[in-house]
Amino acid sequence: MKIHEYQARQIFRDYGIPVPDSVLCYTVSEVEKAARDMNRMVVVKAQVLVGGRGKAGGVKLARTVDDAVAAGKQILGMDIKGFKVEKVLVADAVNISKEFYVGLINDRNTKSITLMASAEGGVEIEEVARETPEKIIKFTINPLTGLLDYQARNVALQLFGDIKLANKAASIFTKLYKLFVETDATLAEINPLVLTPENEVLAIDGKMNFDDNALYRQPKILAMREPDEDELQEIAAHEKGLSYIKLDGNIGCMVNGAGLAMATMDMIKLYGGSPANFLDIGGSSNPQKVIDAMNILLGDKNVKAVMINIFGGITRCDDVAKGLLKALEVLMTDIPIVVRLSGTNAAEGLAILKETGLPTVSSMSEAAKKAIELSKR
């Protein structure tokens, strides 16, 4: 789960990380009031859940209230990579001597949390990692001890040189680690972390992602969720025990298991078609799930054909067939459907479907070819 910058800033503040003042605004008049109240140079920043806001023109420096109003007018309502800007942050534009990067991630390879820091702040860290990986300091944190003060200080010293500044930065690193662990984050970035001419160290932009599997024990984080339209569909599907992701194609897929669902999408593409979605109905055989899944697939107006691909292990093919029969009774659709059943009780499942006249096939490849053919009619 992702959150906005203004939300990340609030979490940082709650944990004592110094962050410049800011006000969240939904309208131009709110922007005007915020700029007037701050009474100094501000930066107006689009709040959207996608990277690259600066490049898209979603971040503007404003020296006067009029500048801020102009920036608010421009940014509110603009489209950044398909995301409409509905709110902006008006933040104190502090003077910057130098920009740094600091971030924490769950590292698959070391099976631990890794601290990353760089003197190349303010730019996309992926770019730094690609072009000058030697400029990123990586420190693997022992989960049994956490990030210790001296470790944070040593990393900070490499960035700042001066021990007083390093102590300030190290305190931010350990606070960031604490909040990372306590909120079940998967990513916590301060980029840039800045040094001001007054020798203050401040976080002026933040990005955080959280572990979906841990949201059950993070009510405060869950309350910050602001899903867009696609995500609302995905969340609704999740509540029904389905894992659904909408794509741009026209062949709806219903599959049991995530790996097989991905392979099914790949196969449709391989034979020249285009998948409309990823949909994993999971491991159980509940007929209701099949009905819910069909409802989602047929709710997508782009879908011209449906491919059902079930390899019965724990899932029984006859249960899937029964669910499909029920679904067809209520849905009354003329979208063509191809069914592939294999594995546990496949013969029983196919017998149940016989009376429906639906085309049934025994292999994935055949199913994909047939679905593509039907989608073109």
Partner 1 sequence: MSILVNKDTKLVVQGITGRDGKFHTGLMNKYGTNIVAGVSPGKEGETVEGVPVFNSVENAVKATGANTSIIFVPAAYAADAILEASEAGIGLVIAISEGVPVQDMIRVTPILKQNGTLLIGPNCPGLITPGQSLVGILPAMIFKEGNIGFISRSGTLTYEVVNLLTLNDFGQTTCVGIGGDPVAGLYFIDLLERFENDPETIAVVLIGEIGGDAEEQAAQFIAEKMTKPVVAFIAGQTAPPGKRMGHAGAIISSGSGTAAEKIAAFNRAGVPVAKEPAEIPELLRKKLAELK
Catalytic residue among 5, 99, 120, 189: 189
Residue 189 known to be catalytic:
yes
Tell me how far, at minimum, the Cβ of 113 lies from partner 1, in Å: 6
As measured in angstroms, the least distance from the Cβ of 249 to partner 1 is 9
Should residue 143 be labelled a site residue for partner 1 when binding is judged by CB under 8 A?
yes
- Based on CB atoms, which residue is closest to partner 1, 72 or 206? 206
Q: State yes or no: residue 259 binds partner 1 (CB under 8 A).
A: yes
- Residue 373: phi and psi, rounded to 5, are -60, -45
Mapping DSSP to helix (H, G, I), strand (E, B) and coil, where does residue 135 land?
helix
- Site residues for partner 1, 218-257, by CB under 8 A, read 243, 245, 247, 255-257
Distance of closest approach, residue 108 Cβ to partner 1, in angstroms? 5
Q: List, in order, residues 6 or more apart from 179 with CB less than 8 Å away.
A: 11, 12, 14, 15, 17, 185, 188
Instruction: For partner 1, give the closer residue by CB, 32 or 373.
Output: 373
Work out which of 24, 44, 113, 303 binds partner 1, going by CB under 8 A.
Answer: 113
* Cα–Cα distance, 188 to 324 (Å, whole number): 44
In the bound complex, what is the minimum distance in angstroms from residue 356's beta carbon to partner 1? 24
Say whether 177 is catalytic: no
6, 101, 177, 244: the active-site residue: 101
DSSP 16: T
Q: Is 342 in the site for partner 1 (CB under 8 A)?
A: yes
User: Which residues are bridge partners to 104 per DSSP?
Assistant: 115, 188
Confirm or reject binding of residue 261 to partner 1 (CB under 8 A): yes
Binds partner 1 by CB under 8 A, chosen from 7, 151, 171, 344: 344
Round to whole Å and give the CA distance between 267 and 72. Answer: 46
Residue 309 · residue 343 · CB < 8 Å: no
- The correct pick among 32, 200, 211, 226 for binding partner 1 (CB under 8 A) is 211
Q: Any idea what DSSP says for residue 184?
A: T
Cβ neighbour number for residue 145 with a 10 Å cutoff: 8
Contacting partner 1 within 164-193 (CB under 8 A): 181, 184, 186
- Minimum CB–partner distance for residue 63 and partner 1 (Å): 34
Min dist. Cβ of residue 112 to partner 1 (A): 6
214 near partner 1, rule: CB under 8 A: yes
Q: How many CB atoms lie within 10 A of CB 75?
A: 25
148 makes contact with partner 1 (CB under 8 A): no
List the structure tokens of 10: 């609030």
Nearer to partner 1 among residue 76 and residue 237 (C-beta): 237
Instruction: Count CB atoms within 10 A of the CB of residue 65.
Output: 18
At closest approach, how far in Å is the CB of 280 from partner 1? 4
**Cα 33 to Cα 23, 39, 62, 158, distances in angstroms:** 10, 10, 14, 42
Residue 259 beta carbon to partner 1: minimum distance, rounded to whole angstroms: 2
Judge whether 172 and 149 are in contact, CB under 8 Å.
Answer: no
Q: How far apart are CA 101 and CA 172, in angstroms?
A: 12
Residue 272 touches partner 1, criterion: CB under 8 A: no
Q: How far apart are CA 24 and CA 153, in angstroms?
A: 34
Let me know how many helices (H) and strands (E) the chain has, helices first: 13, 18
Q: What is the CA radius of gyration of the chain?
A: 26
The reply on whether position 5 binds partner 1 by CB under 8 A is no
Q: Does residue 206 touch partner 1 according to CB under 8 A? A: no
Helix (H) or strand (E) holding 289: helix 287-299
Q: Quick check: 213 binds partner 1 (CB under 8 A)?
A: yes
Site for partner 1 in 280-309 (CB under 8 A): 280, 283
Which span sits near partner 1 by CB under 8 A: 35-43, 63-71, 321-329, 340-348? Answer: 340-348
CA distances from 302 to 26, 64, 245, 247, 328 (A): 33, 48, 14, 10, 19
Active site residues: 101, 189
List residues binding partner 1 (CB under 8 A): 106, 108-109, 111-113, 126, 142-144, 181, 184, 186, 211-214, 216-217, 243, 245, 247, 255-263, 265-270, 275, 278, 280, 283, 311-315, 342-344, 363-365
